[in-house]
Structure formats: structure tokens, C-alpha cells
Amino acid sequence: MVRGTQHSSFRKRLLLRVGIVVGLAFLLVEAVVWGGATIYLRMDAERFVRSEADEISSFVVRSGGELLIDAYPWNEPHHLFNEPRIDPLFVQIMNPEGQEIYFTPNIDLFNRGAYPRQMVTDPLISYSPFQELESRFVGSALLYFSSYSLRSREGQLLGFVQIARYLPDLQGAVRSVGLISAGILLVLLGGLLFLLHLQTGRLLAPLHRIARTADSLSAEKLDGRVPDLVGADRESVFLASAFNRLLDRLDGSFNDMRRFTADASHQLQTPLTVVKGHVDVALRKPRSADSYQRTLKVIGDEVDGLTRMSRSLLLLSRLDSSMVHMERRQVHLADLVTDALEEFSASSNCISVQMDEAAWVMANEELCLILVRNLVENALKYGESGPVVVEVTLESEYAVLTVQDEGVGIKESDLNMIRDLFYRSDTVRDLGLPGNGLGLALVDRITAWHGGTLSISSHPPGEVGFTRFSIRFPLAPTPLKTR
Ligand code: ADP
């Protein structure tokens, strides 16, 4: 398992990424809260003085269209005193020319020279909520000013009202709102990351189990499997079962390889022992030329057997390797079978042939010759000198090659195994019939390589009947020139 520091854990990465994304989202929320609070408080301050101006206007603007300043009750405390705790409002009434014609008593409490006597803001301009309030110091008091026009019902300008108020600590209020919301968001972010940290631990537990299982495996010990992941998510369960299936396949392949190595060394050992024995006996004392010839004949036969075996193994490995390219072309099956049977001319009297000339297949000739020869060789070898029938027939979209004998037969329990490498039935071993158990394995692989299917049926040993090997090849179109 890779525990190197160069790989940061999935959990760390997830937390980092979620942290960044959620953090950015929270920053945006914070910016909106901050901006919203600023605008709201700014507008609220404006609204406050505007409603006062409206109220004053409703008193002093008379229905006849004239200004009656005394109509408003100026004796309220917030017009009399200037202490910030009573939130005083400082009101000036100006005539249409902008000259002060009235001011509230609390303005008198300031140094009059310091208090502005003219309009500070232009009542005809509407200010945006994003703008700073128009403020200035009057002595040590910081006030903000707003001016509004006073108009008759007909819209005639009668004058202006200018109201000043202590500038509220907008920035302080905004800062508190911002800090409180930032605090809440930070706590939320921390809580979210903490929960995520706990949850990812649980989510990743199945992956750790799979990794631990993988860690415990080796070529010699492939029996470990990921246990049932109770309560795990679907993807992890799927991964675990795919991993277990992969292990099953690997385990199977490793077992096949081990069995193959054992079988192959055993198969090589037997002829080499025979050769060595004959050589030792021959060398023990001087022999006649006849005796040396017999020894050499035995050695030659064993070497032939070894050569056949190594050729078969080579071919099997070529068939198993997808890297090796072997050609295929349209092949006339009857001609090919005829060519293959030439090798058995000595036994031709017991071989009968029936062939449909219309059977063409896409095939590799060299491989197909080996296939036919192996089947016929077996039929002759295990056929107890009985008749052997070789047939090529057509069956809907298939060309069917059948090789049939009436020999020793195959037990039902052997039928599934005789295609395995080096497998030979007890029946033929007991009869002492030669062979290496590679012929049918080759037939099987060659058939599969051509996209065909091999079916085997046989009577049980000791009973009379047929042993039949049938191969169904997909038909190829008949070449034009032969039509
Ligand atoms: P071998 O070299 O032993 O013939 P094969 O791979 O060709 O190897 O065949 C595998 C086994 O299948 C044989 O050993 C034999 O037990 C069985 N077998 C194959 N062909 C026949 C047949 N025509 N009749 C009976 N048994 C057969």
C-alpha cells in the first residue's frame, strides 16, 4: 500500500476542495450581508429624516398654498435639546431663495457661526443608496444633512426644509452585522468540514479494506478475498466484488500455470528418463551394431515425441497470444480434409469419407490441417481398428466437420476434461496407448480461434457405440470463380 507523503489522502483533498468551494460561497454570502447591511442602514438614516420632513411639510404647507411655520409644534424635545442620547433633529426652514427663515431652538445651542446657514445638499438631486451621507462637523458634533423642497398642492415651490441629525455609527453597525455573520459562517464551515471528515472516514473504510486485502496477496497466496462490505455504498460493493472476481480469475490462471508447469515437466521427464536409461544400458559394455541400432531407434522415437510436444506447446502459446497474427482466407473444406488424410494413406482402407463440396470456411489452412490430423489420428489410435468416418456437411450457416470411430469410447466424467492440457483418460492409459494429452487441447483452441464450436459425444468404455467429434465452422461465401 502506498503510504508515501507525496500522495495526499483522498480525505484531505476532499476537505481542502470542499473547504475552498464552501469558503468562497460563504465569502460571497458575507459580501452580500456586508453590502446589504451598509445600504439598508444608509437608506434607513435617509428615510428617518425624510419622514420628519414630510411630517413638517404636512403642517407648515397650508391648503391655501402659503407657508405657516408656526403650525408645526416645534416644542418637542428633539427640537429643543441637542444631547445625542435623545436623537435630536435640527431643522431649518428656508425660503425659495435658500435663505434661512426659521431654525429649531436646538440649533441655537451650537456655535451659530459654525452651523451652516445655507443648503448643504441639493433637494432636487436624488442620492443613491450607495453614496455616503452628506455629513460635516458642527463644532465637535458630526451631523448629516438632508434637504427637501416644500411645495404647495399645485407644485409651487414655497421653500425648503433642511434637517440635520447626529451621524449614526453606520460603519460600526455594519461591522457588527458583518462580524456576527462571519462568525456564524465560520462556525458553519468548521462544522461542515468536521462532519465531512467523519463521514469520509466511514465512506473510505471499504476502500481501505480492499487495499488491505490486496496488500495481503501474493502470487503464492491468492486465496484472500474482500469480506462482505455490510452497509457500504453501492460503488464500493461493486468494486469489491469486481476485485474478488478478478482474484478468482487470477487464482484460476495461476493454478492452471502451476498445473501446466507440473504436467509439462512430468511429460518431459518421462521420455528423458527413457532416453537416459537406454543410453546408460548401451554404454555399460560394448554391444553389437544391431543393439546400438535398436537403442538409437528408441531414442529417435522419444525425440520425435518430444519434438511433437514442443511443437504443440509452441502452437498453443501462439494461439493464446493475441499479439501473434495468423492469416485466414477462404478455404475449401473438402480439399483441406483430403490433404490432411494423405498422411493416413496406410490406414485408408478403414477411413470412409463423405464430403459436401459446397463447404467453404474462412480459415488458416495450417491450423486446420493440424486440427483434422489430430482428430483422425485419435480416431485411428483409439478406434480399435474399427471404421473411421470423416464427414464434411452443411448445416444452415455452418460447415460441420465430423470424425467418428467405434473404439474405446470416453467416460462421461472424462468428456469435460479431455480438452485440458495433458489430460489423458484412465481408459487409454490402462491400454498403454501412446500420447501426450495435447492433441485435443489444440483442436479446441484452433476451433475457438476460427469462431467455431467443438462438440463431443461418446459411448461409455466397454459398451459398443460411436465416439464422435463435431466441429461447426461459420460458413464463408463461395468464391466467385468456383460458382
Ligand atoms: P492424446 O495424445 O492422449 O491422444 P489428446 O489430447 O489427443 O491426447 O486426447 C486427450 C484424451 O482424450 C486422450 O488421451 C483420450 O483419453 C481421449 N480421446 C481423444 N480422442 C478419443 C477417441 N477418439 N476415443 C476415445 N478417447 C479419445
The confidence score (pLDDT) of residue 223 equals 85
Mean pLDDT of the chain: 91
The confidence score (pLDDT) of residue 65 equals 86
The confidence score (pLDDT) of residue 189 equals 93
The confidence score (pLDDT) of residue 171 equals 78
Burial of 444 (0-12, 13-18, 19+ CB in 10 A): buried
> Across-strand partners of 92?
103, 162
Of all protein residues, whose CA lies closest to atom 23 belonging to ligand 1? 379
Distance (Å, whole) CA 310 – CA 306:
6
For 35-41, what is the mean pLDDT? Answer: 90
Residues 6+ apart with CB under 8 A from 319: 367, 442, 445, 446, 449
For 291-296, what is the mean pLDDT? Answer: 95
Instruction: List % helix, strand, coil for the chain (3-state, nearest 5).
Output: 50, 15, 30
The atom number, within ligand 1, closest to the CA of 428 reads 16
Is 32 a residue whose pLDDT tops 70?
yes
The confidence score (pLDDT) of residue 4 equals 52
440 alpha carbon – ligand 1 mean position (Å): 7
Mind giving me the DSSP string for 129-153? Answer: TTSPP-EEEETTEEEEEEEEEEE-T
Distance (Å, whole) CA 41 – CA 61:
30
Nearest to 402 by CA among 342, 464, 457: 457
Superfamily per CATH, domain 329-482: Histidine kinase-like ATPase, C-terminal domain (3.30.565.10)
The atom number, within ligand 1, closest to the CA of 407 reads 24
Top-confidence residue, 283 or 125: 283
The tens digit of pLDDT for each residue in 410-455 reads: 999 999 999 999 999 999 999 999 899 999 999 999 999 999 999 9
The confidence score (pLDDT) of residue 1 equals 46
356 alpha carbon – ligand 1 mean position (Å): 27
Pocket test for ligand 1, best of 263, 312, 315, 382 (most atoms within 8 A of CB): 382
For the sheet containing 141-151, what is the strand order?
Answer: 100-103, 89-94, 157-166, 141-151, 135-138
Pocket test for ligand 1, best of 373, 428, 447, 468 (most atoms within 8 A of CB): 428
441 alpha carbon – ligand 1 mean position (Å): 10
Of all protein residues, whose CA lies closest to atom 20 belonging to ligand 1? 378
Amino acid at 352: S
**Grid cell at residue 270:** 518421462
465 alpha carbon – ligand 1 mean position (Å): 16
| HEC secondary structure over 155-167 | CCEEEEEEEEEEC
Match 496407448 to its residue by C-alpha cell. Answer: 433
141-151 and 157-166 strand pairing = antiparallel
The tens digit of pLDDT for each residue in 198-226 reads: 988 888 888 888 999 999 988 788 888 98
Residue 144's alpha-carbon distances to 87, 127, 132, 137, 448, in angstroms, are 12, 13, 10, 9, 95
454 alpha carbon – ligand 1 mean position (Å): 14
The tens digit of pLDDT for each residue in 105-159 reads: 999 999 888 899 999 988 888 778 788 889 999 999 999 999 999 999 899 999 9
393 alpha carbon – ligand 1 mean position (Å): 24
381 alpha carbon – ligand 1 mean position (Å): 9
Distance (Å, whole) CA 211 – CA 279:
56
Q: Where in the chain is the domain with CATH 3.30.565.10?
A: 329-482
The confidence score (pLDDT) of residue 332 equals 96
pTM of the prediction? 0.62
Residues 6+ apart with CB under 8 A from 278: 295, 298, 299
Mind giving me the DSSP string for 177-197? Answer: HHHHHHHHHHHHHHHHHHHHH
CATH code, 234-320: 1.10.287.130
Whether residue 339 contacts residue 374, with contact meaning beta carbons closer than 8 Å, is answered with no
Residue 94's H or E segment, with its range, is strand 89-94
316 alpha carbon – ligand 1 mean position (Å): 17
Nearest to 89 by CA among 100, 101, 105: 105
- Residue 405: other Cβ atoms inside 10 A: 27
Q: Where in the chain is the domain with CATH 3.30.450?
A: 12-175
Nearest to 311 by CA among 448, 447, 442: 442
Residue 473's H or E segment, with its range, is strand 467-474
Q: Which pLDDT band, with edges at 50, 70 and 90, does 470 fall under? A: very high
Is 2 a residue whose pLDDT tops 60?
no
Top-confidence residue, 163 or 6: 163
- Residue 411: other Cβ atoms inside 10 A: 15
Pocket test for ligand 1, best of 373, 416, 418 (most atoms within 8 A of CB): 418
Q: Where in the chain is the domain with CATH 1.10.287.130?
A: 234-320
Pocket test for ligand 1, best of 309, 378, 426, 464 (most atoms within 8 A of CB): 378
Top-confidence residue, 462 or 391: 391
437 alpha carbon – ligand 1 mean position (Å): 7
Cβ < 6 A, ligand 1 pocket: 374, 378-379, 382, 405, 407-410, 418, 423-425, 428, 435-441, 467
Is 302 a residue whose pLDDT tops 60?
yes
375 alpha carbon – ligand 1 mean position (Å): 9
The tens digit of pLDDT for each residue in 322-364 reads: 667 889 999 999 999 999 999 999 888 899 999 999 999 999 9
Under CATH, which architecture does the 12-175 domain have?
A: 2-Layer Sandwich (3.30)
Is 482 a residue whose pLDDT tops 80?
no
351-355 and 135-138 strand pairing = unpaired
